[in-house]
Amino acid sequence: MVSNLEYLDDYYRHPHAVSESIKTALQRAVIDKPGLTLEELRQTCPKASANDVHSLIATGGIYIDLTGFRLLDETAKIRVFRDATLAKMLKFVDQHTSAASPEIMQIHEGATISWGNRTLTVANWVNGEVLLTGDGDLRMKEQTIGDLLATGEMVITASSSCNDNAQNITEFLSKCSEAVLEKGHRRYEIYNDPTQFMQLPARTREHWRSNIRMFTAEFGNEFAEFGLIPRNFACGRKPLMLPQSVEDVLSAAFNEFEDKRAISPNVFWCRAKAIAKGLGVLSQLCHKRTGKKWLESHITLKTIETREGLTVAKSKTPAMPVVPGTDFARWPWDKAYIDHTKVDLRLLLPGMFPDDDTDETLRPWLSVMIDGYSRKILAFVLDYNSPSNKTCMLLIRECVRKHRYLPRTLGMDGGKEFRSVYFRSLMALCKITAEYRPPHRPRFGAQIERWFGTANTQLFHQLLGNTKVMRNVRQVTPAIDPSNLATWTLETLDETLSEFCYSFYNENAHSSLMCSPNQKHDAGIKEHGLRQDRRFEFTEDFVKWTLPSTSTGLAKVTRDGISVFNLNYWVQGMTVGTKLMVRYDPCDISRVYVFMNKQWVWAKCGLHPEITGMSEKQREIASKALRTQQRAAGVAQDSGERKMGQFLGTTAAKEAMLTQKKKDAALARIMKAKQGQVMEVAPTGDVMPKVKSRPSVELPPRKVVPVYRSEKEVSNEQ
C-alpha cells in the first residue's frame, strides 16, 4: 500500500485534468465489465494515457484496492471497479462461491480421520475419490469428505509426517544447485528406461536401487525420483578441530593480529610459536598451514576495520538483498542521483587579457545529475572551483532550463554542500525529498559512480592532456606530462561533453537496459505518466528563488541599508528596523535582492563599480588578503566596506584574485551561452551613503558619494 501511495502521490497533490470524453469512456468500460484488470482497461481505452487513469484513481473516479498489488509492475493483477462498495460485494461473492472447500485441503495420504466410532486412514487419493482404510475399506468423494469436515461429523485426529516430510524435502531441495537437480532428473530417466539402465555397471545399478529404497521408505513412493539426486552439499571440508590448548595460543596471537599495527600473517605465526613456547605447548602446536587457515576463518569485518579502516571494511561488506522495484527509481523523474568528481584531464586556464600568455593548467570538477530510472543524463556543470552550494544551484537551474522538470527525490552522499541549509531550503522549495546514502558505501550510488568510469574511459582518457600516466608518477617525463600537453579549455570541453552526454550516451543502447536511456525514459513516461507536479518554468523568478541567502534568510534594515558580506546594500523604499528576505548571486555579489512589495528588488552597493562581476569566492580571497596585510602591519583587522573599497584598488588585491577571476570568467561564459541573460539589467538610482542621523521613516534618495571617502569630506560637500 505504501508503494502505491507513493506512486500516486503526485496525482493526489495535483490531479491531472482529464477530458470528459476520456473520463466517460473509462468509467463506462468499468461499469460494463466490473473487475477487469488495469491492463485490460488501458487496452479497452487506448486513447486514455497513464496520467488519465492514475488521476481518476486518485480522485475516486474509478476504484482499485491499493492494499493488493503494486501499480508499478502488477497492472495485470489489479482489478478495477466502479466504487469501493461494489468491489467489496464482488469480493464477498467470490469467497463464498469458490468450488474448492478449505477443509478438504487439510487432509492428505496417511492422515487419520475419526468418523463416529470408526477410525480411518487415507490410503489413496485419485481423481477426486479418496480411499479410506481401517475399520473396513471405504471409497468416498472428496467433496463429501469436505462437507463432513466442515460440519464437524468427521475430524482429523492424527496426521502422518506428510507435512514434516514436505518440509524436509523442501529443505533438501533448497541445498541442491540447479545442475545437481538436473543430474538427478537425468538419472531417473535412465532408471525408468530398462535398455539404458542395464548398460550401467552392476555396482551403479545396485547403488541407485538402494538410494531409491531408502528415500521412499522415509518420504513415500511419490518422491522416488529425489532418491537419485547427488548429495553433493554434504561433501566438502570439515571445520578445523584443534585442541583447546592450541586454540588458546592462536586466540592470544590473534589479539595482536587484530590491532592497528596490522602485523602480517607470518608475524602472527611467529607470535603464536613464541606464546606456545612460553606456555610449554610448542610440541602440540599445529602446522603453519593449518594455523593460517585458522587465521583466515577468524578474520571478520571488525578485524578489517581495525587494521585497514572503515572505508575498506565497508567496501567488503556483502551486498544487501534488493526488494524488486525499490533498488533505484520506479518511474521517470522519481529519483535522480547527483555527485561530483575531478576530471582526469588538465585544461588550460587562459589569461584575462589578449596579450597575456601566462596560461595555467588545472583539473576541473564535473557535477552530474542522472535519472535513476532510465540512466539518462539530466544535467551537468563543469567548473574549476571545488563543489559548493553554488554548484548545486547551477545544477538545479540547468536541469530546469533543459527539461522544465525536477526529480521527486535526490540521492546524494554526505557532502557538506548537500547538507547545507541553503540546499535543503532549495529542495524544500522545489518539493524534492533528500536521500543521503550511508558513508563509505558507494554501492548506493552505483549508477552515477559507474557513469563516471564510463565518461573517463570513453571520453576524457581519449583527449590530449589526460592524466592516466600520473598513476605511475615516478615514470612521467616532461614529454608526456599532462601539464605540458594541455590544449583543451573549459569552454571547448563543455561543448564536447554536452555532445557526449546528450547526443551519444543518451541515444546509444545501454547494456543493462537493452535500449537507449532516451527510449527507456520515453517508454516510462508512456507507461507511468508524466507528473505535472514536477514541472517548473525557467523564468527570472525561478532563478531568483534558487539563489542562496544568509544564514537566517533575513537581513535587518539599518540606517546604512542591509549588510551582506560586510557590505551595505540599499534600494529606495526600505524602512529602518524591518527585516527583509534577502538573496544574492554567488557568481556576482553586486546582485543582491530583497523581497519588497511582493516582488524581488535589486539592492545596490556603494562599491557597485568595484564589485561588479566579483564572485563570492573572490570576496573571500580579498578579505583574507586584506586581513593578512593588516595583521602584518600591526593594525586592527577590519574588512568592512570602507577598508575593502580602499583595498580593492591595490595591486595586492588584484594579484590575490587574478587566478580566481580567470576561473569565474570561464564559468560565466559557459553559463551565459547556456542560460542566457535571465537577470534584468542593473537598476538606476542613487546609492545611500553613511549619515549621522538615524531616520525612523523611509529614507529619501541621496547624492551618490563613494563610501570609502572620509566623513569630513562628505559633510563638507553637503
What CATH number should be reported for the domain holding residue 495? 3.30.420.10
Q: 300 is written with which cell numbers?
A: 571478520
pLDDT value at position 155?
Answer: 78
What distance in Å separates the CA atoms of residue 139 and residue 130, rounded to the nearest whole number? 6
Q: Residue 403 is part of which domain span?
A: 335-534
Pick from 8, 47, 41: nearest CA to 27: 41
Say whether both 545 and 586 belong to one domain: yes
- 116 and 74 inside one domain: no
Q: How many CB atoms lie within 10 A of CB 261?
A: 8
Residue 297 lies in a domain: yes
- Whether 353 has a pLDDT exceeding 70, the answer reads no
In the listed set 181, 215, 234, which residue is the last one of a domain according to the structure? 234
Edge-to-edge order in the sheet of strand 433-436: 377-383, 365-371, 335-342, 409-412, 433-436
Q: C-alpha angle with apex 448: 331 to 662, nearest 5 degrees?
A: 125
552 & 472 share domain: no
pLDDT at 446: 82
- Higher-pLDDT residue of 305 and 717 is 305
The predicted model gives 203-211 an average pLDDT of 86
- Per the CB < 8 A criterion, the answer to whether 369 and 380 are in contact is yes
Given a cut of 60, is residue 690 above it in pLDDT?
Answer: no
Burial 277-309 (b: 16+ CB within 10 A, else e): eeeeeeeebbeeeebeebbeeeeeeebbbbbee
Per the structure, the count of domains in the chain is 6
Residue 321, pLDDT score: 55
- The verdict on 21 and 120 lying in the same domain is no
Average pLDDT over residues 375-398: 90
Q: Are residues 351 and 392 in the same domain?
A: yes
Q: What pLDDT score was predicted for residue 407?
A: 92
Residue 562 lies in a domain: yes
Angle of CA points 641, 642, 644, to nearest 5°: 65
pLDDT reported for residue 166: 56
Coil/strand/helix, residue 365: strand
pLDDT at 288 over 80: yes
353 plus 448 within the same structural domain: yes
β 409-412/433-436 pair status: parallel
Question: Residue 681 pLDDT more than 70?
Answer: no
Query: Which backbone phi and psi does 688 adopt, to 5 degrees?
Result: -80, 125
The reply to whether 205 and 280 lie within a common domain is: no
Section 540-564 average pLDDT: 84
Asked whether residue 568 falls in the same domain as residue 588, the answer is yes
Task: Tell whether 509 and 378 lie within a shared domain.
Answer: yes
What distance, in Å, lies between the first and last C-alpha atoms of the chain?
A: 74
Length of the chain counted residue by residue: 718
**Residue 221 in domain:** yes
Say whether 642 sits in a helix, a strand or coil: helix
pLDDT at 31: 80
Q: For residues 62 and 668, what is the distance between their CA atoms, to the nearest angstrom?
A: 52
| Whether residue 502 is found in the same domain as residue 640 | no
- Per-residue pLDDT band at 239 (split at 50, 70, 90): low
Kindly state whether residues 253 and 363 are assigned to the same domain.
no
Decide if pLDDT at 372 tops 60. yes
Domain membership of residue 326 (yes or no) is no
* Distance of alpha carbon 487 from the chain centroid: 36
Question: Which one of 284, 315, 346 terminates a domain?
Answer: 315
Sheet holding 118-126, edge to edge: 138-141, 129-134, 118-126, 112-115, 154-158
Q: Domain check: are 79 and 112 in the same one?
A: no
pLDDT confidence of residue 344: 92
Q: What is the pLDDT of residue 195?
A: 87
Domain boundary among 160, 175, 206: 160
Tell which residue, 121, 122, 215, 212, has the closest CA to residue 168: 215
pLDDT at 234: 60
pLDDT over 70 (residue 554): yes
Q: Which of 126, 94, 4 is nearest to 57 (CA)?
A: 4
Q: 48: helix, coil or strand?
A: coil
Angle among Cα 516, 522, 528 to the nearest 5 degrees reads 130
Local confidence band at 160 (pLDDT 50, 70, 90 cut-offs) = very low
pLDDT at 379: 93
Q: Please give the pLDDT value at position 94.
A: 55
Question: Between these two residues, 89 and 54, which has the higher pLDDT value?
Answer: 54
pLDDT tens, residue by residue, 322-349: 554 445 678 899 899 999 999 999 998 8
Q: How confident is the model over 644-660, as a mean pLDDT?
A: 73
- pLDDT of the residue at 552: 79
Interior/surface letters 378-387, b for 16+ CB within 10 angstroms, e for the rest: bbbbbbbbeb
Distance CA(3)–CA(302), nearest Å, equals 36
